């Protein structure tokens, strides 16, 4: 089982660190395995899913999303829902659906620049 430490956010906006910059290689291997599972339907180990889920939780909890000047009550509620539902993900399909929901909000949790561009 992987033990995670709290990751910092990048000032001044509180953006998340990019997964590709993680130095152990464990996160990159897990994300590549997730892509393989989504594209080729290869098995994803539970530990790999947990690593990616943990990183996605880190991304969605970044302070930068709270500072969006265009937020209203509805968008804040959707952000809260994303923050809660990532905790419940237990299958690759659920993570895929969660990522799609993030993209609907303009957040790409696996991109080097997590603010999704249209």
Provide the total of helices (H) and of strands (E) in the chain, helices listed first: 4, 0
| Residue 30 counted as domain residue | yes
| Residue 8 counted as domain residue | no
**Domain span holding position 41:** 22-104
Residue 1 has pLDDT above 80, yes or no: no
| Residue 56 counted as domain residue | yes
* pLDDT, tens only, 7-57: 889 899 899 988 888 888 899 999 999 999 989 989 999 999 999 999 999
Domain count, the chain: 1
In whole angstroms, give the CA distance from residue 107 to residue 118: 11
Residue pair 106/64 in contact by the 8 Å Cβ criterion: no
In whole angstroms, give the CA distance from residue 74 to residue 43: 36
Q: What pTM was estimated for this model as a whole?
A: 0.88
Residue 4 has pLDDT above 60, yes or no: no
| Residue 7 counted as domain residue | no
What is the structure's pLDDT at 116? 53
State the CB neighbour count (10 A cutoff) for residue 25.
Answer: 9
* pLDDT, tens only, 70-93: 889 999 999 999 999 999 999 999
| Residue 67 counted as domain residue | yes
What is the structure's pLDDT at 115? 62
In whole angstroms, give the CA distance from residue 17 to residue 22: 8
pLDDT band per the 50, 70, 90 thresholds, residue 60: very high
Mutual angle of helices 46-60 and 26-40, in 10-degree steps: 110
- Give the residue-averaged pLDDT of 103-107: 93
| Residue 84 counted as domain residue | yes
| Residue 27 counted as domain residue | yes
| Residue 5 counted as domain residue | no
């Amino acid at each position: 089982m992987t033990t995670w430490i709290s990751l910092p956010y990048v000032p001044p906006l509180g953006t998340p660190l990019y997964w590709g910059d993680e130095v152990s290689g464990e996160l990159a291997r897990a994300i590549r395995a997730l892509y393989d599972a989504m594209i080729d339907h290869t098995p994803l180990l539970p530990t790999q899913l947990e690593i990616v889920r943990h990183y996605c939780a880190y991304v969605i909890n970044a302070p930068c999303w709270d500072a969006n000047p265009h937020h209203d009550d509805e968008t804040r509620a959707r952000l809260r829902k994303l923050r809660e539902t990532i905790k419940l993900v237990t299958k690759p399909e659920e993570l895929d659906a969660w990522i799609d929901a993030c993209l609907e909000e303009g957040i790409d949790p696996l991109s080097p620049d997590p603010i999704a561009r249209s």
